[in-house]
Structure formats: C-alpha cells, structure tokens
C-alpha cells in the first residue's frame, strides 16, 4: 500500500537533552499500484508477451517513532484491496500431442486473474529533513476467492485447429475457497507530510516494489496442468490522512550543578617580612545550553503601551433600513404574466418569505419584494383592501391592461389567500401616461402602503494587538521557528519565521465566538517551537489572560451602535419634510449623518436637480436637529451619485425611485 507516515520533527542530536516520545500514531489512506508480471512458464516459443498488474487498496499505517535513535524508526502498513493480473502471450506452436494445433500455427494465450487481497509490510524508515520520510522493507500479500479466466485462440492460419477440432479453448474459475495467490518481496516508499491542523496532516506518497508471485490455481495447458508462477514489479501512488503527532516533546536539560568551592586551609603567617598575597575562592561557571527558547505573550493598546491582559470588547451594530413601498410593477411588452424579476412564491413556499429573510437586501431587491410585502400585510390586516389598476402601451391590445391587473389579483389570492372581494380591479385611468406597461396598487390603509423597514444585528469585536516576543539562544544558529496561539483548543493565529521577517496574525473574532457559544476559557496559549541548524529543537510556552468587556458593569450590556438607512424617494416638499421629521425623531441624543444621492442603473438624471434636493434635505436635517436639541457630531453630503443595479430601458425604475436620496444615521448607545 502506497501510504506511509511522516515525522514533523527532523533528526535531532541535542547535547544533554532528551525527547519524550509519543506512542504509535495512525494514518488512514488509499493507494493505487500498477506494474508488470513476468510468468516463469510462459509459452516456450512466444514471439510477444505483455502483462500488467493493478491493485486498488485502502488501509491503516502505524508508526513507532525513533526506535533506533532520532530520525529512525519502524512502520507497518496493513490494507485490503482488489488486485488484477493479466498476461497476454502469442507465439508459434508445432503439431505435438495434446491440445496442440494440427499444423504450425500462431496461438494467442491469455490469463486474467482477479482476487481480494490482504497485504502488509514492516519497514524501517529514515527521516530526510522536516517533511520527507523514506522507507524500505519486506512486504507480503495473500489473495483469496479468485476469479480467473485462461484461454487459447488460434490466430492463423485459418485452416489450423486444435486436435479436438476447435480454434478456441477457455477455462474459468470463480470464488474457489481452496485457491489463493501470494506475493512477497521488497518495497521502497517516499512520502511528504502536509500539515493541516495540530495533530492532523495530509500525506501523499509514492512507492516501488519487486515481488515473487505464486498461485496454486492449476491452469490446464497442453494436456498437463501447471500453477501460476512468476515475478512482478510495480509503481504506486497513495494519499493518506495522519492522526497524531510524531514530534514528541523536548525536555530541556537541567542546568549543571555548580562546583562547590574547594576548602582553603587557614592562612599562616610565615616568619620574615610581611607579604600582600591573598587566597581567592573560585567557582566553576555553568555551561550555557546549546539551544534554549522562551516566549512572552502580551498585548499593546492603541497608545503603544504594553498590557498583560487581552481585553475583548464586543460591539454589536443594529442596522435598520427604511425604504418606501413603491406599489408599481412593470410588465413585458404584449405580456400579462408577472415578470420573473419580481420574487414569486406559491402557497407551499410563501412561509419562506419573512421580514427576517429579506433583512440586508438592497433598495432594488426590496422593490422587487413589494408585491409579497403587500400580500403579507393584507393577510395580517383583514379589514384592508386595495385597488389594482393596469395599463397598456398604444401598440398593445386594450384588454391587456385588465389582464395584467387580474394577474396581480390572482397572485395575491392564490399565494397569500386574500379574499378576492378585497382586491378591486380598476379600469385604466391614464394617470401614468399611455405608454406605460404597468400595474399600480393603491390603498386607503396606511398599514398596506407604509415604508418597508428591515433590521438585523451585526457583531464584531475590538481587541488590542497581540504580540509575541520569542527569546532564542542557539549556539549552532537558528534555522526556523514557529509560534502557535490557541484559545479553547482552537488555533487562532500563527507567527513564524524561516530565514526572514516573522509573518502571521491573530483572529480575535474566533475568541469572541468561543465566548458566545459558552466555551470561552480565561487565557490564550502560545507555543514556540525552535529548530537550529543541526536539526535540534526546543519548545517554550506562555499564556495571556482574557477578559471580556461587557460594557456597563451594572446592566451587563455590551456597546451598541445603531446604523439607520432612510431612502427618500422623489416626493413633494411636504412629504420630504415629514420624512425628515421622522428621521430626526428617531435620533436619541447625537448622531453622525451621511447623505448620499442614488440613481437607478444607468438612467440619466438632472444633476442640478439632485444638487438642489441634497441642499434642501441637508438644511432641513440641520434645522430639525437644532430645534429638537439634538447634536450632529459629523455631517457629510456626497456629491457623486451611487448606482443601484437593476434598471434598463426595457425595465425602467419606478419614478419615485429613479433618483432617491439615502440618509444614513449612525448612533452610539
């Protein structure tokens, strides 16, 4: 099986250090081998011989790391698969006794052998660098319940036959429990480990094998029976998934004990002149380690100050969107069917349409949901009724105006269950011009024609910068290092360097999700793995406390930002003033305001008229806020229009939404 295990850590020779080894780790994989077979008793006079072998298998590998020292070990692989051997031979046979041709003839022989196969190997490996592993060792397999077919066919001349008068012979066997096929030989493998997550990696591999083949299947051959015997060579590829790490854990060597000071005999004063000599006690200095690592995990606030706490500040943003309900639908030329651009539902699927489901939709999409919003509102208000008025272009039949109105009426009745007595089809009134292909809906009930209001909450997080400070002492020089930051068992960031500047980042949003799911722990964990130029490795760890900032300590409320988007259609000055008063009434104490003009698709509009509207709306907003005692922290009016996709000459936008103005109000609560 062309699957194998690979070690993440390279061979190490660290003076005065040892490695705590894990147990066997597991790899599951699949493989495909393909090769050739040379039968030992092929036709004696064949002029051509072709053969092939195929094996598809799946199995499990175990690795026993570093049994013979760093970088060496044993692995064993066991798998189950389906093997197939096919041999084709062709040659000239003379007229001998038995089932031989009656005259010299060209004979084609085939053997097609298929069996279920169990195979295993035991291999010694050597680590080559950080990711590549090489293996070599013996392997064996046994195939059982074989299916095989042996045949002989006279190719030429056409006058030749076997001595039984036929030109074709075949022998078959299926699932004989007493028949088997066995192989045994030597194999070599190479594999590459591609890390996915800690303790999990993808392992592609390639292998080559040479084997002997034997089967006790007795194939009848020219008046005698013989077994299938031969040799086989194959190449294969495999793909596996490894579970468990073969790294082990480096245990730093304890510092050498200091040599105690030697006893110094008491000084004696010799006779004669005094001297200034003194005896000085000495200590043997500790020998510094060949490789040592330490890591510090800390934060930095916006002012650049170091903090030893990871302060997680969740922020929730409440989005509200106010868009006018424009009860106008445009139809295709000479058609009374509801256009596909308007969202359509059935009685069975209408439950999927909710205000929550369309939260976040843009202006164009909310317009296309208008008919369903009317249906939902009428279902909720049994006292409301609507007037439906269709129109047709001059070149269209007069009847098509009513047919379009009836199509809208039928949709509301069938999909939303509205009683037809509440849906009044009116004759065309010409108020929108003779060229319009539209249906207009009107109602005296404000609950039906009120603006569309959608809202949704978006959650984000503010957090300080997380910094890693590795300290490395490497007498042989540092080859690479990698620091992994985790929270609650989840990897949230990696910082690494391999001969260059460190690269990596931390995802604070993952920490917030842990807390929201009730799985938040109280600290981040950092693990530093260092490798020097000799392949020796050292490990260090540190933690950083996590504090969740819940905002108001008394209420436990998190910081909330409200973003309200109000779309003001083309309307009279009185209606615009009413909309502006409603916007200002919704502001709590202070807010920042941004005013943006919109145009529908590529429609051309009067830029000077838009400018006058922007100026009017801006002045009214400032005036209303001043009168209400509310403060505008910032006020921004965009001069360029933003396009709303969806309009074309064939599908024009409603007049009210041809050039709307959006007022965005942002409040901190």
Our CA angle for 556, 558, 560, nearest 5°, is: 140
Which tokens sit at 71? 């970088």
Our CA angle for 372, 377, 379, nearest 5°, is: 95
Confidence of residue 609 (pLDDT cuts 50, 70, 90): confident
| Count of positions (residues) in the chain | 669
Lowest mean pLDDT among 273-287, 320-334, 460-474: 273-287
- Find out whether 599 and 357 touch, Cβ atoms under 8 Å: no
Q: How does strand 224-243 pair with strand 25-39? A: antiparallel
Q: What is the pTM of this model?
A: 0.47
Rounded to an integer, what distance in angstroms lies between the CA atom of residue 2 and that of residue 30?
8
CATH fold for the domain made of 325-450: 60s Ribosomal Protein L30; Chain: A; (3.30.1330)
Buried b (16+ CB within 10 A) or exposed e, 341-352: ebeebeeeebee
Average pLDDT, integer, range 31-56: 73
The 8 Å CB, 24+ separation contacts for 453-456 are: 453/320, 453/321, 453/322, 454/320, 454/321, 454/323, 454/355, 454/358, 454/359, 454/360, 454/361, 454/366, 455/318, 455/319, 455/320, 455/321, 455/359, 456/318, 456/319, 456/356, 456/359, 456/360
Q: How does strand 503-506 pair with strand 328-330? A: unpaired
Contacts of 87 (CB under 8 A, 6+ apart): 37, 39, 42, 49, 50, 51, 109, 110, 111
Please determine, for residue 60, whether its predicted confidence score (pLDDT) is greater than 50: yes
Q: How does strand 310-323 pair with strand 559-568? A: parallel
Q: Which residue has the tokens 């919003």?
A: 373
Please determine, for residue 433, whether its predicted confidence score (pLDDT) is greater than 70: no
18: helix, coil or strand?
strand
Q: How far is CA 306 from CA 88, 193, 297, 507, in A?
A: 77, 39, 11, 19
Q: Among candidates 104, 92, 141, 98, which has minimal Cα distance to 121? A: 141
Confidence of residue 41 (pLDDT cuts 50, 70, 90): low
Under DSSP, the state recorded for 353 is: -
Please determine, for residue 76, whether its predicted confidence score (pLDDT) is greater than 80: yes
Average pLDDT, integer, range 270-275: 40
pLDDT > 70 fraction of the chain, expressed in percent and rounded: 75
Cα 5 from chain centre:
24
Among the ranges 122-126, 427-431, 625-629, 650-654, which has the highest mean pLDDT value?
A: 625-629
**CATH number assigned to the domain covering 293-315+460-548:** 2.60.40.10
Q: What is the pLDDT of residue 230?
A: 80
pLDDT per residue as tens digits for the range 530-543 = 888 888 889 999 88
Average pLDDT, integer, range 399-417: 95
- Find out whether 17 and 250 touch, Cβ atoms under 8 Å: yes
Please determine, for residue 226, whether its predicted confidence score (pLDDT) is greater than 50: yes
**Fold match between domain 325-450 and domain 561-668:** yes
Q: How far is CA 441 from CA 152, 384, 453, 634, in A?
A: 85, 13, 19, 39
- Find out whether 303 and 313 touch, Cβ atoms under 8 Å: no
Lowest mean pLDDT among 146-150, 182-186, 268-272: 268-272
pLDDT per residue as tens digits for the range 126-147 = 876 556 788 899 999 998 878 8
- Find out whether 210 and 156 touch, Cβ atoms under 8 Å: no
pLDDT per residue as tens digits for the range 457-498 = 887 777 777 777 888 888 888 888 888 888 887 888 887 776
Please determine, for residue 214, whether its predicted confidence score (pLDDT) is greater than 60: yes
Tell me the domain boundaries of the chain.
Answer: 18-250, 293-315+460-548, 325-450, 561-668
The overall average pLDDT reported for the chain is: 77
CB-count burial class (<10 Å; 0-12, 13-18, 19+) for 574:
exposed
Q: Which residue has the tokens 């693990």?
A: 527
Which tokens sit at 248? 């082990």
Rounded to an integer, what distance in angstroms lies between the CA atom of residue 34 and that of residue 578?
80
Q: Among candidates 231, 236, 244, 36, which has minimal Cα distance to 121? A: 236
pLDDT per residue as tens digits for the range 244-258 = 655 444 444 444 433
Please determine, for residue 198, whether its predicted confidence score (pLDDT) is greater than 70: no
**CATH number assigned to the domain covering 561-668:** 3.30.1330.60
DSSP calls for 84-123: EEEEEEEEEE---SSS-BSSSEEEEEEEEEEEEEEEEEEE
Measured from the Cβ of residue 507, the count of other Cβ atoms closer than 10 Å reads 16
Confidence of residue 410 (pLDDT cuts 50, 70, 90): very high
């Amino acid at each position: 099986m062309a699957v194998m295990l690979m070690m993440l850590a390279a061979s190490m020779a660290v003076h005065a250090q040892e490695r705590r080894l894990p147990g066997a780790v597991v790899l599951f994989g699949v493989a495909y081998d393909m090769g050739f077979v040379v039968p030992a008793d092929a036709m004696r006079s064949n002029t051509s011989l072709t053969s092939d072998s195929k094996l598809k298998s799946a199995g499990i590998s175990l690795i026993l790391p570093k049994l013979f020292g760093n970088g060496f070990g044993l692995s064993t692989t066991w798998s189950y698969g389906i093997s197939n051997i096919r041999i084709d031979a062709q040659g000239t046979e003379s007229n001998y006794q038995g089932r031989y041709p009656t005259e010299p003839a060209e004979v084609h022989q085939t053997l097609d052998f298929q069996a279920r196969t169990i195979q295993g190997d035991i291999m010694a490996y050597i680590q080559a660098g950080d990711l590549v592993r090489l293996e070599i060792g013996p392997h064996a397999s046994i195939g059982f319940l074989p299916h095989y077919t042996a045949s002989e066919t006279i190719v030429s001349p056409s006058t030749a036959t076997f001595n039984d008068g036929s030109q074709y012979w075949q022998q078959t066997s299926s699932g004989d429990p007493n028949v088997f096929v066995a192989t045994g030989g030597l194999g070599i493998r190479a594999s590459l480990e591609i890390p996915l997550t800690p303790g999990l990696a993808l392992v592609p591999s390639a292998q080559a094998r040479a084997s002997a083949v034997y089967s006790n299947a007795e194939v009848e051959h020219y008046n005698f029976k013989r077994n299938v015997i031969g040799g086989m060579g194959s190449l294969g590829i495999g793909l596996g998934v490894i579970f468990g790490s073969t790294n082990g854990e480096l245990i730093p060597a304890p510092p050498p004990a200091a040599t105690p000071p030697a006893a110094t005999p008491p000084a004696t004063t010799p006779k004669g002149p005094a001297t200034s000599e003194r005896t000085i006690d000495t200590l043997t200095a500790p020998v510094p380690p060949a490789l040592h690592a330490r890591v510090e995990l800390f934060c930095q606030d916006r002012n650049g100050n170091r903090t030893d706490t990871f302060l997680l500040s969740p922020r929730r943003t409440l989005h509200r969107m106010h868009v006018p309900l424009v009860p106008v639908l445009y139809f295709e030329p000479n058609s009374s069917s509801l256009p596909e651009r308007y969202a359509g539902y059935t009685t069975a699927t209408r439950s999927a349409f909710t205000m929550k489901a369309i939260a976040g939709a843009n202006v164009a999409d909310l317009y296309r949901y208008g008919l369903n919003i009317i249906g939902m509102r009428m279902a909720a208000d049994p006292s409301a009724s609507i007037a439906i008025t269709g129109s047709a272009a001059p070149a269209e039949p007069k009847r098509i105006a009513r047919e379009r109105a009836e199509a809208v009426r039928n949709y509301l009745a069938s999909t939303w269950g509205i009683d037809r007595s509440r849906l009044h089809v009116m004759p065309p009134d010409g108020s929108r011009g003779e060229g319009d292909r539209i249906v207009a809906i009107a109602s005296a009930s404000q609950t039906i024609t009120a603006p569309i209001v959608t809202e949704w909450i978006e959650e984000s997080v503010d957090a300080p910068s997380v910094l890693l400070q590795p300290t490395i002492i490497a007498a042989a020089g540092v080859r690479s290092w990698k620091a992994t930051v985790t929270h609650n068992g989840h990897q949230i960031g990696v910082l690494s360097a391999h001969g260059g500047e460190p690269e990596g980042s931390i995802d604070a949003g993952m920490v917030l999700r842990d807390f929201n799911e009730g799985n938040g722990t109280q600290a981040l964990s950092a693990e530093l793995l260092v490798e020097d130029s000799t392949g020796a490795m050292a490990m260090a760890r540190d933690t950083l406390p996590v504090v969740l900032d819940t905002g108001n300590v008394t209420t436990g409320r998190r910081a909330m930002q409200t973003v309200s988007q109000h779309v003001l259609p083309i309307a009279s000055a009185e209606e615009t003033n009413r909309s502006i008063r409603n916007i200002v009434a919704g502001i709590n104490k202070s807010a920042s305001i941004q005013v943006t003009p919109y145009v529908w698709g590529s429609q051309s509009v009067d830029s000077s008229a838009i400018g006058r509207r922007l100026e009017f709306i801006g002045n009214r907003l400032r005036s209303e806020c001043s009168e209400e005692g509310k403060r505008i922290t910032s006020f921004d009016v965009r001069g360029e229009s933003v396009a709303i996709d969806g309009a074309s000459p064939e599908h024009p936008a409603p007049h009210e939404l041809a050039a709307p103005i959006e007022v965005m109000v942002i409040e901190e609560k």
